[in-house]
Amino acid sequence: MGVFWVVLIVIIFILLISIKQINEYERGIKFTLGKFSKIMNPGWNIILPIIHSYSKIDIRTKAVDVPEQEAITRDNVSVRINAVIYYKIFDASKAMLAVENYYYAVSQLAQTTMRNAVGSVSLDELLGEREKISEEICSIIDKATDPWGIKVENVELKDIALPEEMKRVIAKAAEAEREKMAVITKAAGEVEASQNLAKAAETMSKIPGALHLRTLSTINDVSSDQSNTIIFALPIEVLRAFEGSGVKPIPPVPPKFEEKTTQIHEERKDV
């Protein structure tokens, strides 16, 4: 009777230590006598000592920070670039059996793929089409990691470091482009202003007195500041404006009156 209880206690003890818990975000890889037997789902699972062994694999999305890599673009510009990769395991058995260390393998594959992708594009494409290049890198890595049971969800290029000389060249190019746009805009404004001035001059020439009113309006605007000195030049068009406005000009001096005035001056000189 004592042997029975001893055996029973031993069996209960073995069963207790054989219960292994797998969390919801994990999957277990079960081996029976060293051979893969099945994938253990979340919950309690029986792992008998000596006969069975197991390993846990986290199936949550992981972020791998790819170290900064130095690469040369297609147009022979040296850049330093780093990225981050998001991936998750969709087949725990492949991740355990097909590759020794999937975390290290994914990191090394990402570094190599990133350098190759940068070398296949020019600097302008690298700076202006980050999303497209990231998608290409993600597609290449995802295809290579499928046999490992790994799904690459996204690749993001974090930073692209350029040499100081290239930064100055790009800044000069951007400044020149801005100056070009400014000159074009200014020239277009001058053309539009000249067209408007031509229309205004044509309108004023057709309407009597319009130029005189415009002159007075300009003088009024300038005279608002007392520190300004106004030099007023009377154009001939103003006199013509008076002709059209109905104002009678000052009559000329009669010839007889001019002769009498001349005689009076001569007599005074004789005296």
Confidence class of residue 6 from pLDDT cuts 50, 70 and 90?
Answer: confident
Last residue of a domain, one of 100, 127, 162: 162
Are residues 29 and 95 both part of a single domain? Answer: no
Q: How many domains does the chain have?
A: 2
Are residues 147 and 135 both part of a single domain? Answer: yes
Residue 33 lies in a domain: yes
Q: Which domain holds residue 48?
A: 2-58
Task: Determine the residue type at 121.
Answer: V
Q: Could you report the per-residue pLDDT of 81-108, keeping only the tens digit for each?
A: 888 999 999 998 888 888 888 889 998 9
Q: Could you report the per-residue pLDDT of 176-203, keeping only the tens digit for each?
A: 888 889 889 989 888 888 888 888 878 7
| CATH code (residue 107) | 3.30.479.30
> Tokens representing 52?
């069975």
Q: Please tell me whether residue 68 adopts helix, strand or coil conformation.
A: strand
Residue 216 has pLDDT above 50, yes or no: yes
Residues above pLDDT 70, as percent of the chain? 80
pLDDT of 203 reads 79
Burial code of 11-39, b = ≥16 C-beta within 10 A, e = fewer? eeeeeeeeebebeeebbbbbbeeeeeeeb
Are residues 132 and 116 both part of a single domain? Answer: yes
Residue 62: beta bridge partners? 87
pLDDT of 129 reads 86
**Could you tell me where the beta strands, DSSP code E, fall in the chain?**
19-22, 26-32, 35-40, 43-46, 52-58, 62-72, 78-89, 150-161
Last residue of a domain, one of 162, 184, 209: 162
Burial code of 193-224, b = ≥16 C-beta within 10 A, e = fewer? eeeeeeeeeeebeeebbbbbeebeeeeeeeee
Mean per-residue pLDDT, 231-250? 60
Q: How far apart are CA 165 and CA 149, in angstroms?
A: 44
> Tokens representing 133?
């290049």
Residue 229 has pLDDT above 80, yes or no: no
Q: How far apart are CA 8 and CA 16, in angstroms?
A: 12
| pTM, to two decimals | 0.61
